[in-house]
Structure formats: C-alpha cells, structure tokens
Amino acid sequence: MASERPWTTGKPAAKSASNANKPSANRRNPAKSSAKTAKPGKPAPEVLATLQVDGPERIQKLLARAGVGSRREIEGWMEAGRLLVNSKPVTPGQKATVSDVFELDGKRLDVAAAAEVLRRVLIYNKPEGEVTTRKDPEGRPTVFDRLPRLREHRWISIGRLDLNTTGLVMFTTDGELANRLMHPSSQIDREYAVRIFGEVDDAMVERLRTGVTLEDGEAKFSDISAAGGTGMNRWFHVTLLEGRNREVRRLWESQGVRVSRLKRVRYGSIFLPSRLTVGKWEELDQKAVDLLSRTVGLAKMAVPQQTPDEVAAQARQQRKAAPVTNRSNRAAGSPGSKAGQGARKWAVADSKPQRSGGKARTDKTRG
C-alpha cells in the first residue's frame, strides 16, 4: 500500500525520517535497526548533551559552526584577503580559537556560538520569493525571517534553494552536521518534484540519467520517475547526489525544455510532511536528529528540551508571520478559473510514482 512506503509525506517528521532510504535489509522498517539496544557486555552509545570546544581548530570549521558562513564561502574570504584574525590575514587550513578576534571587511565577527556545539534541526517549507541567505543586499525576504529566534546560537542552512524554488529547507545549530550533510563526499540525495514544459521522451530521460555536460562539468540525475501530467506539462520526481547552483533547472534546460515549477520534497532521510504549510517550520525530534547524525558519522547529541515559555513565544511568532501570497498557495485551477478563490494549493502526489522497468514512463496518463 502507498501509505506504507517511505515516499509518503503525510506522516510526522520523525516517522518520515525513520522511513528513509536504507540498506535493503532494513528497507521496510529501518527504525528497527535504530531502536536496537546495545549487545550484552557492551556499553550503550553515549548521548552528548553539548560539546565544549577548547583547543584551536581550522578557521573554516570554527566560523561555519558559529553560523558566519559556509566553509567554501569562508575559504573565499581568506583567499581574497577579506578575513583577518588578530588583525592579520589568514590562509585556508590555519587554526584559531574562539578567543581570537575575527574581522570580515573590517567588521568584527561574533563567534561566541562556536564555543559550544548544540544540535537542533528544523525543517521549513520555503515559498517562492525568499532567498536562502541571512541578509540580502536587495532587501528581499529571506528564509531566516520566519525562523524561531535563538539567544546564543544561530541557524545554519543545510544547502540552498534559489528564489523561485519552493519546498524543504533544513536548518541546524551544528555547523559540523551542516557541513557533512552538504559535502559531496557524503552522497546525500536530494529529491525534487519538477513540472516540465516541453516534449519529454525516453531518449531524453536516459541522457539525463547517464549524464550531460554543463558549463561547470558533468551532471546527471541519480533517479528520475514520471509523476503525472499530460501533453506539454509533465511532472517528474528527480534525485541528485550533490547541490550545485540551479542544477535541476540547468539539466532540463540542456535538453531544450523548461522547468515551470520546482519543489524540493526530500533531503536525505528527511521528507517534507504534507501538514507543513508554505512558510511554516517545525523542529525535528530526537529520533530524527539521531538518524541524520548517524547518516554522516556523527555521535548522537541530545536535543535540548524547550521551556513552556519558549514554546509559547515560538507559537506567537508563527501566528504573527506575514501570510505567503505567492503562486505556491494560489488556486491551481484551469486557465479560465479565478485565481485565489479556490481552496486548492499546488501539491504533488504523496505516493511514490510507479515505475516500468526502471525507466520513467513517458505516456500521457498519470503516474
């Protein structure tokens, strides 16, 4: 049944996380493996509450954990001479501590959050029109505007979505977790629902699966499945094992077709639940965070419990957030329908598209 498949997005986030793609032995119920107790005579794995960082470490790692930027961005600042430590230029690989003074373009950086590792993760249903950056020079809304406020730490985005892409964005307070989930060597798959305008045939699907040459090198989808639609407007589910800039759109455009809608529905083991409406967020529980940590080889760390006052403050913040008014939540009617009057929202099927011999279906019936 479709409801038993890990593709289903209507379950709570923790359940969705436990139904992630795992080795075949635990394919149907990977949660069983995570729920096993330690073997007799062996101590149970330690669950850390927080991790104190005392000694020097690479500057990229320290600043990324503080939420200043990604490691790649920080290396770029170093190479451009924009980053100073104790008033001296630095190079990639150089080490420092939180007691050192960091300056970017002459402005001092606050790195206090890097002294302690705290692991919290939340998921956010991004609408169109928001940029995945902390501050936008053009004054556009950002994905950070709606997130719960933190006193001593900062939210770090795990990957990015471009302005017109909607769907799942994850955030964490742990820079090391963010880096490992984003790094190409971790081979974490990202799944998207994409609507294509143009003719798509089997030969095109095969090219996209085996690889095409883009301006920044070879690229391909690790999986591609038809998911409905007719004529010149077709839905597909596609999966990537990396996160290059606008890669989904560029892959399809290389074949002479256009992406008219794009939504991320999964990042690794975490699915976007259907209950999470556009512009809303929710925090992952201990089980889901442990699954993410184990995926990238990190020790478990206890998710801090929120006080009733913190829960109430976050609920008020969500209620006061400005409503989303872009096309992500306008009525998806026919060309002659009145936009905004219907109750329908753009959505994709919660069940996994059917496959035929491992290839995407290219007929005109729904998948």
Residues 57, 117: Cα–Cα separation, whole Å = 14
Beta-strand (E) ranges in the chain? 51-52, 57-58, 83-85, 88-89, 95-96, 102-104, 107-108, 116-117, 121-126, 156-158, 166-172, 190-197, 212-214, 217-219, 223-230, 233-240, 258-267, 270-271, 281-283
Pairing of strands 102-104, 83-85: antiparallel
Residues 235, 246: Cα–Cα separation, whole Å = 18
How far is residue 62 from each of residues 48, 86, 194, measured CA to CA in Å?
Answer: 19, 15, 37
Among candidate residues 110, 145, 162, 216, the one labeled active-site is 162
Phi, psi at 154, each rounded to 5° = -130, 150
Catalytic, 162? Answer yes
Give the tokens for residue 155: 């939210």
Residues 267, 278: Cα–Cα separation, whole Å = 17
User: What's the CA angle centered on 348, arms 345 and 349, to 5 degrees?
Assistant: 125
Residues 174, 33: Cα–Cα separation, whole Å = 25
* Residue 61: DSSP 8-state: H
Residues 192, 194: Cα–Cα separation, whole Å = 6
36's CB contacts (< 8 A; 6+ apart) are none
82's CB contacts (< 8 A; 6+ apart) are 104, 105
Phi, psi at 328, each rounded to 5° = -60, -30
- Which residues are the active-site residues? 162
